[in-house]
Structure 1
Amino acid sequence: MKKLNICIDIDGTVTDPYYFMPYFNKYFDKDLGPEDCHTCKLEDLYEVSLEEVIDFYLKEGYDMHLNAPVLEGVNEILWDLYETHNLYFVTARNKKMEKVTLDWMKANNMPPIKVHSLGSYYKVDKAKELKCDLFIEDNPENTKQLAQEGIKVLLIDTNYNKDLNLKNVIRVNSWYDIKNIIDKMSF
C-alpha cells in the first residue's frame, strides 16, 4: 500500500459549500440560496466591494467558521485516511482564523491534521512543498492552478465549479467517492 500525501481544502470541501450564505445574507440583507451561487467571488455574488467582504469577515468570520457544518462522511473518512496517509489542511483562510479552525476541528472530532493557513488562494507552492500526491478542493481557480502544475485534484461538485473540466481533475460528489478513489490510488 502506497502512503499518499493528501492536501485538503476546508471551506466547501470538508464543510458544506454554502454554509457561509446565511451569514452573508443577514449581514448584507440578501436572500440568496445555493442555486444562486455560481461564483466563489463573494464580492460578485453579493454585489459588494471586496472591502465590505473583508469587513464582514473580520466581524463575523470567527462565528461563521466555528459553526460550519461538516459534510456527510467526513469525520469517519478523515480518521480512516489519517491512519494510513499523510494529511494536510491547506486553506486560504488567514492566519488570524487559525485558532477558530483548530477550535472547529476539536468541536467536530477531527483528527489532528496539520493546518496550513495561507491567507491566499494560491496553493500550488504549498502543495509542492508538501509533495502533494492528491489535492481535495472545491474552488475552480485553485483547481485550475493545481491541475496545470500536474497535481491531481479531486473536485467536490458544487454550483460554482460546474464548468470546470480539466486534465488531472476528477469530479466527486461525496466523501465516499473520495475514499474509493484514494483506496484505488494507494493499492
Structure 2
Amino acid sequence: MNICIDIDGTITNAYYWVNYMNEHFNLNLVDEDLIYYDLCKVAKVTEEQFNEFYRIYSDELHGKAVIRENAKQILEQIAQEHNIYYVTARDISLKTITEEWFEKAGLPKGELFMLGSHNKVKTAMELKCDLFIEDRYENAIELSQTGINVLLIDCYYNRHPLNNNIKRVSDWIEIKEEIDMISKEKKYA
C-alpha cells in the first residue's frame, strides 16, 4: 500500500507546543485546552502575535519535537511492508531541520513532501495514496471526500463527526492494527 503520513500532531505529540506557548504568551494552558487546531484561537492572540511566536521558536519546536509513543517502532514495521510518504504542511524552509529531526529520531526513510499549506489532496492523489494518517480534522475531511481512507489520530481539537472514509484511532498500536486489517482486505479483494 501507499501510505501518506502527516508529521506534526501525528508522528509528534500533538501538545508539545503548550509549554512554549505558556512561556511566550504568559498562559497556563494544559493539553485539554487545545480544543481548536488554530492555536491563535487557543492562546487568544492575533495571527500577527502567533506568527511572531512561531518565527522565534519554529526551529526549536520542530527540532525538539516529541515523538508519540510507539510511533517509531510502528513506522519501522510499516516501512518494511508498505511505501511510506511523509506529507506535511510544514514550509520548505524547514526542510533541513525536519530532515535532521528525522535522522536524530531514527525514523525510517520515506519521501518527504513539504507543502507549505494544508492542501494535501493533490499530493495524496499523485502518490496514489491508499491510506492517509492525519491529525487535522479539516484535512481528514478533504482527503476522505476524494475517496482516500483516513486514520485520524485522536486529539482534543479534532473531535467532530466523521464520515465513512475516516476512522478515529487512539494511538500508533491501533494504527498498525488498522493497516494490517486494510492490507489483508486488499490482498483478498
Compute the TM-score of the two structures, normalised by the length of structure 2.
0.94
Alignment map for 1:32-181 (pairs within 5 Å): 32-181=29-178
1:164: how far off? Answer: 3.0
Counterpart contact for 1:134–1:153, Cα < 8 Å: yes
Report the Cα distance in structure 1 between the residues aligned to 2:99 and 2:48, rounded to whole angstroms. Answer: 26
User: What secondary structure is seen at the aligned counterpart in 2 of 1:128?
Assistant: helix
**1:27-46 C-alpha deviation (Å, 9 max, x unpaired):** 11111111111100011111
Letter in 2 for 1:109: G
Counterpart contact for 1:7–1:132, Cα < 8 Å: yes
Counterpart contact for 1:140–1:164, Cα < 8 Å: no
Counterpart contact for 1:5–1:85, Cα < 8 Å: yes
Root-mean-square deviation (CA), in Å?
A: 0.9
Specify the alignment match of 2:3 in structure 1: 6
Report the Cα distance in structure 1 between the residues aligned to 2:82 and 2:47, rounded to whole angstroms. Answer: 38
Compute the TM-score of the two structures, normalised by the length of structure 1.
0.95
Structure 2: stretches of 5+ with no match in the other structure: 185-189
Percent identical among aligned pairs is 41
User: What secondary structure is seen at the aligned counterpart in 2 of 1:136?
Assistant: strand
Give the count of matched residue pairs. 184
Report the Cα distance in structure 1 between the residues aligned to 2:124 and 2:170, rounded to whole angstroms. Answer: 23
Report the Cα distance in structure 2 between the residues aligned to 1:22 and 1:54, rounded to whole angstroms. Answer: 17
User: What secondary structure is seen at the aligned counterpart in 2 of 1:185?
Assistant: helix
User: What secondary structure is seen at the aligned counterpart in 1 of 2:133?
Assistant: strand
Counterpart contact for 1:16–1:68, Cα < 8 Å: yes
Letter in 2 for 1:142: N
User: What secondary structure is seen at the aligned counterpart in 2 of 1:107?
Assistant: helix
Letter in 2 for 1:178: I
